[in-house]
Amino acid sequence: MKVSMLKIDKKVQGSTMGKGPGGRFFLGLNPEHKNFAYFVADFIRYENAHGRKVRFRPRNFDPSEALNSVPDSGSVLRPSDPRYVIHSTTLEAYEKIIQDGQLKSTSQLRKEGKVQQAIGFLPLGEPLDYLDHVMFGGFGGPGGEVVVNSHLRGKPCFDPNVPYEPQARMYFDAHKIIKDGLAVRDGTHMLKVYGALPLEGYLLRTVFAGDVTLPIGADHWTPTLFTEAANALFYHDMEISS
């Protein structure tokens, strides 16, 4: 059986993941994080379901409290679940997504003969089954734009404050995805969906560079600046429509 690792460390800022000793995939968690139990339970259950045993650091860590306190159901809303999630992509990929009427996983696209590079896959040491899912990011952070910027550069670039040419930032109804039983919880991602997700009923809005204005004093976009501007516009539109 393959092995992954769960590291419990108060020095970790929230959570982190990557390659551990021997190239093993690991999740690092701060035990003081308010969603610690959710992360632990989701990670262990997902890893076990995909044929990987989880080893703990420190070795005497007991996950039973987390496993017993977190229901094993992906369709039940939690207090920590975000109302919205995002999926950022290049303009070229966005056109194909609209034509298909759905977001497709990397594995699905490859099966259809479409070239799809998983920029973060090798650097982060993600397991192969991660490619079978469509990944969604948190609403607040610039992570989605960082990934797109990496695609544009053709190599990983995790700096959220470098020059960036905004592409397509797609906003989805996270609560509906969860309630409809489509959400997969793995402890490392905000939310992901197996295989594909139809746009109808889930996509709320897409923001492009032409929809927002560069902040005063800035001479170029960065992943952070575009995230902030796009989020402000999205919130404004949602308030008007509600």
Q: Is 26 helix (H, G, I), strand (E, B) or coil?
A: strand
Two tokens, residue 122: 């090798």
Plot region of 149 (φ>0 → left; ψ -120 to 50 → alpha; else → beta): alpha
- pLDDT digits 0-9 by tens, 190-214: 899 999 999 999 999 999 999 999 9
Plot region of 121 (φ>0 → left; ψ -120 to 50 → alpha; else → beta): alpha
Report the chain's C-alpha Rg in angstroms: 18
Q: Nearest 5 degrees, angle CA 136-CA 38-CA 172?
A: 20
CA dihedral 120, 187, 89, 211 (to 10 degrees): -130
The predicted pLDDT at position 156 comes to: 83
Average pLDDT over residues 81-85: 94
CA 205 to chain centre: 18
133 vs 238, residue with greater confidence: 133
Q: Tell me what the pLDDT averaged over the chain comes to.
A: 91
- pLDDT digits 0-9 by tens, 11-32: 988 888 888 777 789 999 999 9
Does the pLDDT at position 73 exceed 90? no
The predicted pLDDT at position 134 comes to: 95
Contact call for residues 195 and 104 (beta carbons, < 8 A): yes
Reported for 58-67, long-range contacts at CB under 8 A and 24+ positions apart, including other chains, are 58/8, 61/6, 61/8, 63/6, 65/37, 66/36, 66/37, 66/38, 66/40, 66/41, 67/40, 67/41
Please, where are the H alpha helices in 59-142? 64-69, 91-100, 106-111, 121-124
Contacts of 236 (CB under 8 A, 6+ apart): none
Contacts of 45 (CB under 8 A, 6+ apart): 67, 72, 185
Does the pLDDT at position 120 exceed 60? no
Q: Which residue has the tokens 């492009």?
A: 208
- The bridge status of strand 203-207 relative to strand 168-173 is antiparallel
The predicted pLDDT at position 121 comes to: 45
Q: Nearest 5 degrees, angle CA 44-CA 14-CA 104?
A: 60
**Phi/psi of residue 47, nearest 5 degrees:** -60, -45
- pLDDT digits 0-9 by tens, 123-171: 567 888 999 999 999 888 898 999 899 989 888 888 999 999 999 999 9
Does the pLDDT at position 118 exceed 70? no
